[in-house]
Amino acid sequence: MNVIPVKIIRQIFLIFVLFFMGSLIFREMLPYLTGVLGAVTIYVLFRKWMTILIVRKKWNPSFAAFFIMFLSFIGILLPIGGVIWMLSNKIGRAVNNSGQVVDAVKDQLNKVQHYLGFDITSKIDTTAITSWVSDKLQNVVGGTFNAFIAIGLMYFLLYYMLTNRRALRETLIDYLPLANENVKDVGNEMQAVVRSNAIGIPLVALAQGIIALIGFLIFGVEEPFFWFVIVTIGSMIPFVGTFVGIFPVFLISLSSGETFQAWAILIYGIVVVGTTDNVIRLYVLKKLDDVHPLITLIGVIVGVPIFGFIGLIFGPLLISLFIALVSVYKKEYSKNTSL
């Protein structure tokens, strides 16, 4: 009769306890995961700056860390906070106008069904669509405000990471169950992914938003800067892209009786904004590691429900890091496994 060694039983019990406690900790920390990812992102983006300030400029590490934290607050948090504030103020209006927009769509479908010969609009529940739009918009903004709870945690972690770079690196090497070369691979992959998600994708989206803004100004669209923000945000979502902003403007213009304006902005969005998207994306992302659109799409689907608005960036980052870890796991253990 085979007897399980006591040491193995203790090990299994310890693993179970660690997993149980880790699950509890992760569940409670999940709302603040934005802060952790934010600290990692800012650290990767400003790590070289920190080295330059300390090594070349001979700055005090604490002063250099506070300076970088101040730059990140001015250059990253304030713009994001401004966008969130504007979006939250527009939520009520968007919800109130959603029924009007749906009615405009039904009016256009009435013209289509006249040629097709069968009823379409009677199958559309305007109230249900309006309620769905309201819930989704409020969920996105509500999730966004949860991210601000994690700002304190983010800067606390960021300060430690900036002022204790060597200790952080040694700790990761000691505690990660990977070979040293694979730890370096994870670090390099993380840097490439962060640069692409936190710099490349927002730059492409901003450029598309500016091009769309030019069209909004030319054709006299109301509140062009608001729709510029919407187009910029939508450009971060693959396969949907700028139509998140262009199509609602088209529908609102139709509902207001501005037929020429509506079709002009729709054609401008398809031809001009859609064409320049490929050119801008090719120019910007060729200087950085390109991220597959499917990874970005899955990242947005996963990230927005968890992180809110900021999930547009952190979602793809999370998926990319997961894939990198899977690749490292395969490299680490597949060579030692035989069938």
- pLDDT band for 229, please (50, 70, 90 cuts): confident
For the record, the structure tokens of 183 come out as: 């730890």
Q: State the residue for tokens 């289509």.
A: 112
Per-residue pLDDT reduced to its tens digit, 123-155: 555 555 555 555 555 555 555 555 567 788 888
User: What is the residue type of 190?
Assistant: M
Residue 156: which region, alpha, beta or left (left: phi > 0; alpha: psi -120 to 50)?
A: alpha
Q: Beta-carbon neighbour count of residue 332 at 10 Å?
A: 16
pLDDT at 138: 54
List Cβ neighbours of 196 (8 Å cut-off, separation of 6 or more): 285, 288, 289, 290, 291, 320
- Rounded to 5 degrees, what angle do the CA atoms 322, 77, 196 make? 35
Contact between 314 and 193 under an 8 Å Cβ cutoff? The reply is: no
pLDDT at 51: 86
| Residues 250, 242: Cα–Cα separation, whole Å | 12
Assess whether pLDDT exceeds 50 at residue 338.
no
- pLDDT band for 202, please (50, 70, 90 cuts): confident
Least confidently predicted of 7-16, 66-75, 84-93: 84-93
Contact between 203 and 232 under an 8 Å Cβ cutoff? The reply is: no
- pLDDT band for 32, please (50, 70, 90 cuts): confident
Contact between 306 and 146 under an 8 Å Cβ cutoff? The reply is: no
Per-residue pLDDT reduced to its tens digit, 325-337: 787 777 766 655 4
- pLDDT band for 262, please (50, 70, 90 cuts): confident
For the record, the structure tokens of 112 come out as: 């289509």
pLDDT at 339: 43
Per-residue pLDDT reduced to its tens digit, 43-87: 888 888 888 898 888 899 889 999 999 998 898 888 877 777 776
| Residues 59, 51: Cα–Cα separation, whole Å | 10
pLDDT at 132: 55
Q: In the chain, what are the domain boundaries?
A: 33-175, 177-333
The whole-chain average pLDDT of the chain stands at: 75
| Residues 79, 60: Cα–Cα separation, whole Å | 28
- Higher pLDDT residue, 126 or 169? 169
Per-residue pLDDT reduced to its tens digit, 97-125: 555 555 655 665 566 556 555 555 555 55
Report the pLDDT averaged over residues 11-24: 86
Per-residue pLDDT reduced to its tens digit, 213-224: 898 999 888 888
Phi/psi for 124 (5° steps) reads: -95, 120
